[in-house]
Amino acid sequence: MVVFPELSLTGYLLRDQVPELALRLDDRRLSPLLRAAKEVDVLFGCVEEGDGHRYHNAAVFLSGGRVAHVHRKVYLPTYGMFDEGRDFAAGDRLRAFDAPFGRAGALICEDAWHPSAAWLLALEGAEVLFVQSAGPSRGARKGRGVTSVGVWNDLVRVTAQFQTAFVVYVNRVGYEDGLNFGGGSIAVDPFGRTVASLDALEPGLAVAELDAEVLRRARTAYPLLRDENLDLAWRELDRIRRARFGLPQDALPGPSPLRRRSLRR
């Protein structure tokens, strides 16, 4: 499988070019990638045009010569140097998907900074989490390299350990309209150990072999996903949601979807 960074078909600073560069998933311009994906799975980033001419920052997974999964970036940053909410519509779902190597999930940059995103994918069975990014380089310390790359490495390791999953983070490198992207792509195993990595600020290709036995050992030693109390999470999230939006607190939440499914059985 080959994994590319966020918005790898277009570049990041698109602004008014978004509608011009957007693709529908049946666009003929995707034909070369679909042909290539008959032999090797591909995860790439693009601007997807959805229903109602809504434009999404999307991660598209190709397998067996077809579009097998699409993730639309849920969390669009609008702080600091970022203004994605102006150009894109936010995605509204997080779904794990089946791949030839097992269950997987895709996130795009800012999504990974919201712990619930990776958690939900892991709960749905994802064993590998792919994180595409167009992360700018920010800060540098003598002897410690690019600060933003180190911060991403920490996030990737923590996510891998908390979700007992492989995390493959692929970041863009180079310049676009004066903005520098930091690179520093890395693949980490469920114990937080580096499987493969690339240097900051330099283009490159790394091959990561993800060993299913390592995942088995991690989830045996740390059965965090097995022991998650989904009914508790459902109740507390409902309570917090009611408080945040000023909804009545006296009504008890209905049974969680998990409970309803169990009752129907």
Tell me which residues are annotated as active site.
6, 73, 109
Whole-angstrom Cα distance, residue 208 to residue 150?
19
Beta-bridge partners for 92: none
CA atoms lying within 13 Å on the CB side of residue 185: 25
Non-local (6+) Cβ contacts of 59 within 8 A are: 6, 43, 44, 45, 70, 71, 73, 106, 107, 108, 130, 132
Whole-angstrom Cα distance, residue 166 to residue 64?
23
CA atoms lying within 13 Å on the CB side of residue 74: 17
Q: Tokens for 240, please give them.
A: 């917090």
Element (H, E) at 128: strand 128-133
Q: Which of 173, 183, 184, 206 is nearest to 11 (CA)?
A: 173
CA 96 distance to own-chain centroid: 10
Whole-angstrom Cα distance, residue 90 to residue 83?
12
Three-state SS for 206? coil
Beta-bridge partners for 115: none
* Contact in structure between 186 and 196 (CB atoms under 8 Å): yes
